[in-house]
Amino acid sequence: MRESVRVDAETPILEAERVSLRFGGVRALTDVSFAVRRGEIFSIIGPNGAGKTSMVNCVSGRYRPTEGRILFEGRDITRMPTRRRAALGIGRTFQNLALFGHMTVLDNIMVGRHHLLRSGFLRGMVYWLGGAQREEIAHRREVEEIIDFLEIQHVRKAVAGQLPYGLRKRVELARAVALRPKLILLDEPMAGMNLEEKEDMARYILDLNEEWGMTVLMIEHDMGVVMDISQRVMVLDFGRKIAEGPPEAVLADEHVKRAYLGEADEAVSEPEEAVA
Amino acid sequence: QPIPVGHLMDNSGATSDVGVPYGQGVADALAWVNATRNGVNGRRLNVLGFDYGYQAPRAVAQYQAWVNRERVVAIQGWGTADTEALVRFVTRDRIPYISASYSAALTDAAGRSGRQGVEAAPFNFFYGPSYSDALRGMLQWAKQDWERRGQQGRPRYVHMGANHPYPNSPKEAGETLARELGFEVLPAIQFALTPGDYTAQCLTLRNQGAHYAYLGNTAGSNISVLRACQTAGVQVQFLGNVWGMDENAMKAAGTAANGVVFPVRTAVVWGQDAPGMQTVRQISRQSDQAGTAYRPVHYLAGVCSAMLMVEAMETAAQNGGEVSGPRIRDGFYARQNWVPRGLEGVCVPVTYTADDHRGTMRVALYRAVVTGDTAQGSVADLMRAGTMRIEPVATIELERRRDWLGW
Amino acid sequence: MELGFFLQLLLNGLIVGALYGVVAMSFVLIYKASQVVNFAQGEFLLVGAWVCWWLLTAWQLPFWAGFLVTLAFMTAFGVILQVVVLRPLIGEPVISVIMVTIGLSIFFQALMKWMFGVFAQPFPSIFAADQVRVLGLEVQSVYLLSLAISVAIMLGFWWFFTYSKHGLAMRATAFDQQVAASLGVSVPRVFAMSWAISAVVSAVAGVVVGVVNGVSSALSFYGIKVFPAVILGGLDSIVGAVLGGLIVGVLENVAQWLDAEVLNWGNMYQIAPFYALILILLIKPYGLFGTEAIERV
Amino acid sequence: MAVMTPAGDYRTTYREDMTIFPTLGSRVALWAGIALLCLAPLVLDRYLLHLLINIGFLGIAALGLNILVGFTGQISIGHAAFFGFGAFASAWLHDVLHVPVALAIPLAGLMTAMVGLVFGAPAARLKGLYLAIATLAAQFILEDFFARAQWFTGGVAGRVTEPFGLFGIAFDRDETYFYVVLAFVVVMFLGAANLMRTRDGRALVAVRDHYLSAEMMGINLAYYRTLSFGIASFYAGIGGALYAHYLLFVSVEAFNILFSIQFLGMVIIGGLGSVMGSLMGAAFMVLLPEVVQGLANLLAGSPIDRALRLGASISYLREMVIGAAIILFLMFEPDGLAHRWRLIKAYWKLYPYSH
Amino acid sequence: MSATAPDAAAAPPSGAPRPAAAEPLLAVNNIEVVYNDVILVLRGLSLAVPQGEIVALLGANGAGKSTTLKAISGLLRTEEGEVTRGDIRFAGERIDGAEPHEIVRKGIFQVMEGRRIVADMTPVENLRLGAFTRSDAEVRRDIEMVFEYFPRLKERTGLAGYLSGGEQQMLAIGRALMARPKLILMDEPSMGLSPLLVKEVFGIIRRLNRELGITILLVEQNARMALSVAGYGYVMEQGKVVLDGTAEQLANNEDVKEFYLGGHGAERKSFRNLKSYKRRKRWL
Ligand SMILES: Nc1ncnc2c1ncn2[C@@H]1O[C@H](COP(=O)(O)OP(=O)(O)OP(=O)(O)O)[C@@H](O)[C@H]1O
Ligand SMILES: Nc1ncnc2c1ncn2[C@@H]1O[C@H](COP(=O)(O)OP(=O)(O)OP(=O)(O)O)[C@@H](O)[C@H]1O
Ligand SMILES: [Mg+2]
Ligand SMILES: [Mg+2]
């Protein structure tokens, strides 16, 4: 299951071609094109309301772009129903947690296995007879592996809605991982975490990328994290792409500095400093 | 050892407006029998009352409880839907079932009518003319009325009521006879068993140009129609069924009820005099110590119905006989032109035979007369003051036609 | 003749529909404040009508006095109901609260029967002229009065929700009680207010219907009848509720016309609004005017 | 942390970890309970059996509604109509098509499921209370159908049907019919419990909790929303069919809006999303009127009776008490019986360290 | 206490009064909070917020920071939580057990975690709601003030539910300003904001404190930022205060540096090279 995939510069796993998205008068995205290479960690940054989440929503199917195309592994998925994208290999987490609040952590993660499970309700009802039990146990094993990896063993049976914020984010990640996606979309995975937890999260993301072979598309406001773990960065502002490239270069861009980072301040981890 | 008797009532359902006084009449009569005659042949009646809210399934469930657990020997029943549903059960269990449903389908005791859907109902009885016969009587009166008033052309007749076994029961019989008598029969008009706004129905009535309209529901919803029709200015002669009009309804409908013609099952109404009224007043004191309550027509009918059963039981108990279902039934056949003891001049004479349970073919028609505001004052006051009156109109003696048996 | 008949039915539909609209509004009010669907709305009509009837007959009050006392009583009734029954349920799942309103409905239905009996009772006449002629149709004067009251109530509601601070607080409470509380809104007070207003407005409708048809437990059926009205308009729209009411009223009457003229089925009158309801929901899942739920991730 | 597993919990395989009844104690209790119920007809009187039978078939139908409301989050105020459809279907299959009752009951369940799917498919687009009220419309439309479809239902007069029979034995008395209902209850409840711990069951709950993210997990919303209608109707149909062959009479009057509301009451009082809660809720709704009646009987003849004229108004008082009981219950236990049950269990498990 | 905290105030984690100003505006004394009658979350927590100060409350996920704020603002009772021991005093008056709306009227306003704006209202309506407890005529002017702080919000006239995450956060803070409270409890105000806005928000917090004299209790994961604006700080672990001191003291504490600020001294560790080891060091 864990395979290593090196960044493959030639074949993009995800391509967005001139994507535009409008809500009535609001232009959430205008003419955005980019490509995510197989095996890389790709970050989208930008001011609040720039359209980052909207872009991810277009990829995961929540929104249909008003114009433009989105290709996944060379295949046009612009109009594909949301639910079919899971089987295709696109998993995601959400900016505002979207767990199944009344289910246990274990069940939440098992829902991630939905498209991999075969037994429908009839076989489910006769649990012991139709092979549902066998299947459940087999998948439970894989889910436990994810649980171990994300270190949430102790809350396995807890109700997801009552967990503290940081753990919920981790459960959400586990659920997305359980889909066994090729591309995982992370919408602000570090928000609301303290340094230590951010470090943990960074480690998980790196492991997912390097050991589990997942391509990562991440939205994040913590520049330290973005700098350190992503290979390439795209910057959106007012729905338009204003820069793309390796993090150092992008963050040095004047336009980006002005629109996004603001003046230097002793209290933020300054990217320039870190690079230097 | 007491005799268990079931008493099914509607005190809270769609027909509770008439169910309450009728049920009270039955209950008072049976209580009176216990109090003054020490029950039947020295055995007290253990009356098991149940308010089934006019829901046939609940009646059936209660019936099964009574038969299986309490082993009742006879039942005082209520509605058409439940009584008809229980026909098969009471026939099987041989339990006389005296209903307040006057559905003609219950009169074919031997199942000889050969009509489709009508099965033998050897254990079903009721007191008074069947719905169908009462309607037949009213139609014959309507025919005379039409001619007497010197009207031209064919009178138009329409059946009104809910889509429910009780209003439906005489529909076919009425429409058939109306055609025979030369009426033009209009498409039936539906309205629910609950009070409501029936202006639309009245406008339809007017638009159709009906002359005679049968009101198949109980008083509560009929008065809504009457009031709506009064407002809409509809001039129709309404024909109520036995449950369709009474003193309470006249009070509620006010002048809108004026002129409605309807059958009354007893020979007198409250406040009139007859030898048996003495007894009725005693019975009434069972639930009204002061003796001031006004008892509507349904109360009297309930008394008669209960007392018929009591006498049939007494007949069964004669000579040390067992008070069992089949013997009680035979008790109903024991007399001709039968008026329960002490109720002379109140209950009309009835005769039941083993293959014909049409107790009477006499239809006594009365007219509701309301001359003023009925909002203030009790029914008793209004009747006493003459603001509301129930006036005899005609008594139609129907032929006991064999081909009318069972529908 | 035919056209006249149709027009009369239409007019009747509008008049009755306005009443539905009023009840629907008071229903929407509670929904807007608490997301609770009030199954006891019909019983509010019932209680109001019986109380007014009792004041007029047993106490011989003149109509206007009796009516005002009824409204005062209903205000208290709404508040007490809220304090005794609904306040402890604040913060509990909405569905449980909905179930409680069902319990209330059962309770008051029976209580009214117990206190006032099962017979329909007539109201004393109120106006010198019981009816007036409109478009060739005799219309109860009370209906016209109710029409005027309805319009006034509707305007009041519209202002309340658009401009008043309390209307805003009510909407916030409906959206999220915790948030509302954190903003300094007294959630219990908002609920008490909405229940009281709703009870009063329903009682107005109850009295009007009572005057026309007599008071009986069947009045509570209005509580069910407004469902199609409310949904047609959209659960959270005051304007929608009024329009929905009118539509249902007209629909009933048109259905009766169709029934009488062509179908002869008999009960289109009762069932037609529900068919219409399903049809409209298929086309517009949030009713004609309801706001769509916000779905963002 | 919020997890509470009792001490002495030594489960070593996933299989053991995934049973419906996680502790030995609960398993033993289950089997003992079923065994006791099997003995019930030998010891209980008919009245109690009658109540148990009612709890049984109502519980099955309530479970169906709980799958719809509690698990999938789709409120339905039309459940009684589906219950009724099952009852009519079974009576029709038996009386008109002469299908043996033992077969007619499951077939009726399937027919009802079909009808449920027909109503459920468009309903999949509706949310929350809009759906609830669309089901209310379904309730009235189906009621109208029952009153009209003479060929199927016997029209407004209803249909008298026959008792359950198998291998020539008639299960026509409380003592015997009890076993029929018990068998159905066990099978249907196990089915539901199993469903809930497998793929489609989880999908249903996921749709309830967060349908947007469920969709992105690859869950077909329309399918599951419709499916849950189908399953709910199936359960309702089975419950209704069992009712039909118990009462031996089916009529449109029984399946009214009030009955639908009672079903809703059962699942809410029992506990939304709880399998066993459905049975508890059904028991509550069946026993409540009986208890009230019992109280009234106790009071009969006493001064209170005379003062309030209980005798004449018993039916109103009964209704009032039922209404009040529902209100009070929800005021003190808004999450239902199943929730209280869980808390009690948790309390005993952690005793004496319940804080 | 396993970690050495030489320069932290040596107060025991619970009980004894703090060596803060004579009468703090807000004093939380040794409270215990229980959810659902069974889950004990706060175990004898005490803290004090002096008038006119900014106090930071730091701690890991699940330490009970939000619970503490909810206990103060009374919102706990909307979540089946309860203060079972200890007391909370605001300006000398006990407020534990009071209704949330009463507490707001006393001048305590909480900016809840996760924004919690009213999605089906416009931003302006949300702001008007913030001013619900006020009845003066300056509401309109204050709305303009908020728009001045967050110009982006002014352009958004649709429903607030459609705002981006960061925009909603701005709205939530703006709403608090509208209430003109004496004390604002802020639960992770910087969550989901871009670096530029984070700086702006902290600038605004500082301005609120300096210009309007509003006292602020700040829960933040961005410890560096929080300590840069705060005068005093507390560190929580598992429902208790394990460390407190002036912002300076805390910023120089080795453990705080390591777990909350990142790296010793000014050097920032890279997120890339953490994977080799795991630390789970705690004060408890
Ligand atoms: N469904 C929608 N309807 C209307 N407007 C929308 C909708 N979704 C997003 N928007 C608007 O589109 C713009 C971009 O929103 P988006 O959520 O993509 O921003 P973002 O870059 O993720 O910002 P943040 O960092 O604050 O989360 C915002 O102005 C938002 O108001
Ligand atoms: N409503 C609730 N019911 C039960 N337990 C709860 C509830 N809310 C919080 N908890 C529990 O209380 C503990 C503290 O939660 P709290 O939200 O206060 O933490 P926090 O310090 O704010 O964490 P974070 O940084 O993740 O926001 C957690 O273990 C959580 O599971
Ligand atoms: Mg975003
Ligand atoms: Mg928190």
Count CB atoms within 10 A of the CB of residue C259.
22
For residue A202, which residues of chain E lie inside 8 Å, CB to CB?
271-272, 274
Of A99, A121, A144, the CB nearest to D200: A121
User: Average pLDDT, stretch C34-50?
Assistant: 90
Note residues around ion ligand 4 (Cβ under 5 angstroms): E 66, 113
Determine if the peptide bond prior to D352 is cis (ω within 30°): yes
A58 pLDDT tier (thresholds 50, 70, 90): very high
Which pLDDT score is estimated for D82?
95
DSSP chain C: -HHHHHHHHHHHHHHHHHHHHHHHHHHHHHHHHH----TTHHHHHHHHHHHHHHHHHTS---HHHHHHHHHHHHHHHHHHHIIIIIGGGTTS-HHHHHHHHHHHHHHHHHHHHHHH-SS-BPPPP-SSSSEEEETTEEEEHHHHHHHHHHHHHHHHHHHHHHH-HHHHHHHHHHH-HHHHHHTT--HHHHHHHHHHHHHHHHHHHHHHHHHHH-B-GGGGGHHHHHHHHHHHH-TT-HHHHHHHHHHHHHHHHHHHHHIIIII--S-HHHHHHHHHHHHHHHH-TTTTTPPPPP---
Task: For chain E, give the percent of residues with pLDDT over 70.
Answer: 85
**pLDDT at residue E267 is higher than 60:** no
For D:168-227, CB contacts with A below 8 A are: 191-192, 194-195, 197-203, 205-206, 208-210, 212-221, 227
Per the structure block, which two tokens stand in for B350? Answer: 């009835």
- Rounded-to-integer distance, Cα C101 and Cα C107, Å: 10
> H-helix or E-strand containing D26?
helix D24-43
Burial of E203 (0-12, 13-18, 19+ CB in 10 A): middle
Identify residues of C whose CB sits under 8 angstroms from chain E CBs. 91, 165, 168-169, 171-172, 175-179, 181-187, 291, 294, 296
User: C173 and C187 in contact (C-beta within 8 Å)?
Assistant: yes
**For a pLDDT cut of 90, what percent of chain B falls above it?**
39
Q: What is the mean pLDDT of residues A6-13?
A: 72
DSSP label at B348?
P
Task: Measure the CA–CA gap between E148 and B101, rounded to whole angstroms.
Answer: 80
| Mean pLDDT computed over E261-281 | 56
Burial profile D150-181: b = 16 or more Cβ within 10 angstroms, e = fewer: eebbbbbbbbbbebbbeeeeebeebeebbebb
Which of E173, E191, E187 is closest to E58 using CA atoms? Answer: E187
Whether the per-residue pLDDT at E142 is higher than 70: the answer is: yes
* Per-residue pLDDT band at D197 (split at 50, 70, 90): confident
- Beta strands A232-237; A41-45: pairing state: parallel
Which carries the bigger pLDDT value, residue C125 or residue D263? D263
Asked if residue B134 lies in contact with residue B216, where contact means CB atoms within 8 angstroms, the answer is no
Per-residue pLDDT band at E257 (split at 50, 70, 90):
confident
Q: pLDDT tens digits, residue range A69-102?
A: 999 998 999 989 988 898 899 999 998 888 998 8
Q: Which has more pLDDT, E32 or C226?
A: E32
Pick E26-116+181-283's CATH classification: 3.40.50.720, 3.40.50.300, 3.40.50.1100, 3.40.30.10. 3.40.50.300
Q: How far is the CA of E158 from the centre of ligand 4 (A)?
A: 29
Average pLDDT, chain C: 84
Q: In which residue are the tokens 């872009």 written?
A: A55
pLDDT tier at D129, thresholds 50, 70, 90? confident
CATH topology of domain D40-350: ABC transporter involved in vitamin B12 uptake, BtuC (1.10.3470)
pLDDT at residue B310 above 90?
yes
List the single best residue of A44, A163, A196, A216 to mutate versus E (max E Cβ within 10 A).
A196
Q: How far is residue D272 from each of residues A157, B226, D63, D334, measured CA to CA in Å?
A: 20, 47, 10, 10
Write the residue in B64, B85, B168 that is nearest to D158 by C-beta. B85
For residue range B381-393, what is the model confidence (pLDDT) as tens digits? 898 888 999 999 9
C-alpha to C-alpha distance for B117 and E154, rounded to whole angstroms: 76
Task: Give the per-residue pLDDT at D7.
Answer: 44
Query: What pLDDT, on the 0 to 100 scale, is given for residue D308?
Result: 62
Tokens 């991810």, residue located: A56
Q: Residue B175: which pLDDT band, with cuts at 50, 70 and 90?
A: very high
Are B220 and B17 in contact by the 8 Å Cβ rule? The answer is: yes
Look at chain D and count its residues: 355
Kindly tell me if the per-residue pLDDT of E283 is higher than 60.
Answer: no
Contact A48 E166 (CB under 8 A): yes
By the 8 A CB rule, do E190 and E226 touch?
A: no
Among D127, D113, D312, D292, smallest CA distance to D221 is for D127
- Ligand approaching nearest to the C-alpha of E157: 1
Tell me the chain D residues in contact with residue E39 when contact means C-beta distances shorter than 8 Å: 2
**Atom 31 of ligand 1, residue of closest alpha carbon:** E163
Nearest-CA distance from C104 to chain D in Å?
6
Chains C+E touching (3+ CB pairs under 8 Å) = yes
Q: In chain C, pLDDT over 90 holds for what percent of residues?
A: 13
The predicted structure's pLDDT at residue A269: 38
Q: Whose CA is nearest to atom 28 of ligand 1?
A: A49
Is the per-residue pLDDT at A272 higher than 50?
no
Q: What per-residue confidence (pLDDT) applies to B312?
A: 92
* Higher-pLDDT residue of C290, C201: C201
Task: Please give the distance, rounded to the nearest whole angstrom, from the Cα atom of residue E162 to the centre of ligand 1.
Answer: 6
Neighbour subunits, C (≥3 Cβ pairs < 8 A): A, B, D, E
- Model pLDDT, residue B149: 87
Chain D nearest-CA residue for B117: D154
For tokens 């209310």, the residue is: D136
pLDDT tier, E251 (very low <50, low <70, confident <90, very high otherwise)? confident
Distance B162 CA to ligand 2 centre (A): 60
- pLDDT tens-digit map of D249-267: 898 888 988 899 889 989 9
pLDDT band at B158 (very low <50, low <70, confident <90, very high): very high
D61's enclosing H/E stretch is helix D46-66
Interface touch E40/D355, C-beta < 8 Å: yes
pLDDT in tens, C158-203: 788 777 888 888 888 888 888 999 999 998 888 888 899 899 989 9
Are D312 and B287 a contacting pair at CB < 8 A? yes
Give me the pLDDT at residue D346, please: 64
What does the pLDDT average to over D326-347?
A: 77
Question: Is the predicted pLDDT of residue A184 greater than 90, yes or no?
Answer: yes
CA-nearest of C235, C205, C228 to C33 is C235
Mean pLDDT taken over chain D:
83
- Taking CB atoms and an 8 Å cutoff, what residues of chain D touch C105? 323
Residues C78-97 pLDDT 10s = 999 988 888 888 777 888 88
Closest CA to B311 of B49, B303, B120: B303
Closest residue, chain E, to A269 (C-alpha)? E268
- Least CB-CB distance to D253: which of B61, B81, B168? B81
Cα Rg, chain A, nearest whole Å: 19
E275 pLDDT higher than 60? no
Q: Distance between CA D261 and CA D75 in Å, rounded? A: 11
pLDDT attached to residue E266: 46
| Distance in angstroms (rounded) separating the CA atoms of residues A51 and A45 | 10
Are E68 and E217 contacting, i.e. CB atoms less than 8 angstroms apart? no
**Residue E10, class by beta-carbon neighbours within 10 Å (0-12 exposed, 13-18 middle, 19+ buried)?**
exposed
Q: Is the CB of A271 under 6 A from ligand 1?
A: no
How much is the pLDDT for A52?
92
Contacts of A210 by beta carbon, 8 Å cutoff, 6+ apart:
A4
In this structure, the strands spanning A240-245 and A232-237 are antiparallel
B85, D157: Cβ pair inside 8 Å?
A: yes
* pLDDT for position E16: 41
Exposed, middle or buried by CB within 10 Å (0-12, 13-18, 19+), for B274?
middle
Task: Examine the pLDDT at C121 and tell me if it is beyond 80.
Answer: yes
Rounded to whole angstroms, the Cα distance separating C185 from C173 reads: 8
DSSP states along B229-263: HHHHT---EEEE-TTT--HHHHHHHGGGGTT-EEE
Mean pLDDT across C211-232: 84
**How many whole angstroms separate alpha carbon B26 and alpha carbon B298?**
10
Nearest-angstrom CA–CA distance, B406 and C22? 49
* CB spacing of C100 vs D127 below 8 angstroms: no
The verdict on a CB contact (< 8 Å) between D50 and B65 is yes
Amino acid at B258: N
DSSP at B40: B
Asked whether the CA dihedral B390, B395, B398, B400 is positive or negative, the reply is positive
A51 Cβ below 6 A of ligand 1: yes
Strands B184-185 and E215-219 turn out to be unpaired
Q: By the 8 A CB rule, do D263 and D57 touch?
A: no
Q: Answer yes or no: do B194 and C221 touch at CB < 8 A.
A: yes
- Using an 8 Å Cβ cutoff, are E54 and E218 in contact? yes
pLDDT in tens, B119-155: 888 999 999 899 999 999 999 999 989 988 888 888 9
User: What pLDDT band is residue A273 in, cutting at 50, 70 and 90?
Assistant: very low
Which pLDDT score, from 0 to 100, does residue B100 have? 92
Position E278 scores a pLDDT of 47
Q: Could you tell me which residue, B251 or A193, shows the higher pLDDT? A: B251
Question: What ipTM score was computed for the predicted complex, to two decimals?
Answer: 0.85
**pLDDT recorded at residue D13:** 67
D97 CB-side CA count, 13 A: 15
3-state secondary structure of B51: strand
Mutate to test the pocket of ligand 1, among A30, A45, A52, A218 (most ligand atoms within 8 A of CB): A52
pLDDT computed for residue D59 by the predictor: 95
pLDDT tens by residue, E158-197: 888 888 777 888 899 899 988 889 999 999 888 888 888 8
Query: Is B114 exposed, middle or buried, given 0-12, 13-18 or 19+ CB atoms closer than 10 A?
Result: exposed
Tell me if A152 CB under 6 Å of ligand 1: no
**Collapsing DSSP states into helix, strand and coil, what is residue B76?**
strand
Average pLDDT value for chain E: 81
Q: What is the mean pLDDT of residues E251-278?
A: 65
Residue D173: the pLDDT is 81
Out of D269, D319, D323, whose CB is closest to C104? D323
Q: Chain E: residue nearest D355 by CA?
A: E38
Phi-psi map region of C41: left, alpha, beta (phi>0 left; psi -120 to 50 alpha): alpha
Pocket test for ligand 2, best of E67, E82, E234 (most atoms within 8 A of CB): E67
Buried b (16+ CB within 10 A) or exposed e, D246-268: bbbbbbbbbbbbebbbbbbbbbb
Ligand nearest to the CA of A197: 2
- Yes or no, beta carbons of A126 and D209 under 8 Å apart: no
Distance (Å) of CA D214 to CA A84, B39, C292, D202 = 12, 71, 20, 10
Q: Which of D64-78, E148-162, E258-272 has the lowest mean pLDDT?
A: E258-272
Confidence of residue A186 (pLDDT cuts 50, 70, 90): very high
pLDDT of residue E279: 47
| Distance in angstroms (rounded) separating the CA atoms of residues B325 and B333 | 13
Q: What is the CA(D250)–ligand 1 centre distance, in A?
A: 57
Output the pLDDT for position D273: 85
- Pairwise pLDDT comparison (E283 vs D187), residue with the higher score: D187
Residue of D113, D58, D108, D136 lying closest to D232 (CA atoms): D113
Is the pLDDT at B404 greater than 70? The verdict is: yes
CA of E119 to the centre of ligand 3 (A): 16
pLDDT for residue D312 is more than 70: no
> Mutating which of A195, A219, A220, A255 best tests the E interface, going by the most E Cβ atoms within 10 A?
A195
| CB-CB under 8 Å, E118 with C181 | no
Assign E15 a pLDDT band (cuts: 50, 70, 90). Answer: very low
The pair phi, psi for residue D90, each rounded to 5°, is: -65, -45
pLDDT in the model for residue D352: 47
Nearest to C122 by CA among B386, B223, B368: B223
Confidence of residue E232 (pLDDT cuts 50, 70, 90): very high
Structural domains of chain A, with CATH: 1-89+183-276 (3.40.50.300), 98-180 (no CATH)
Beta-carbon contacts below 8 Å between D and E: 10
Nearest to C113 by CA among B197, B356, B20: B20
The length of chain B is 407
Taking the CA of E113 as reference, the closest ligand is 4
Enumerate the residues of chain A whose CB falls inside 8 A of the CB of residue D218: 83-87, 114-115, 179
pLDDT digits (tens, 9 = 90+) for B254-294: 888 999 999 999 998 888 888 999 999 999 998 888 888 88
- Residue B75 scores a pLDDT above 90: yes
pLDDT for C78: 92
- Comparing alpha-carbon positions, the chain D residue that sits nearest to A105 is D3
What pLDDT shows up at residue E264? 47
- Which residue's CA is the closest to the ligand 2 atom numbered 31? A163
Q: Print burial letters for A203-212: b (CB count within 10 Å at least 16), e (below 16).
A: bbbbebbbeb
How many other CB atoms are there within 10 angstroms of residue D28's CB atom? 11
Q: Parallel, antiparallel, or unpaired: how do β-strands E81-90 and E93-94 relate?
A: antiparallel
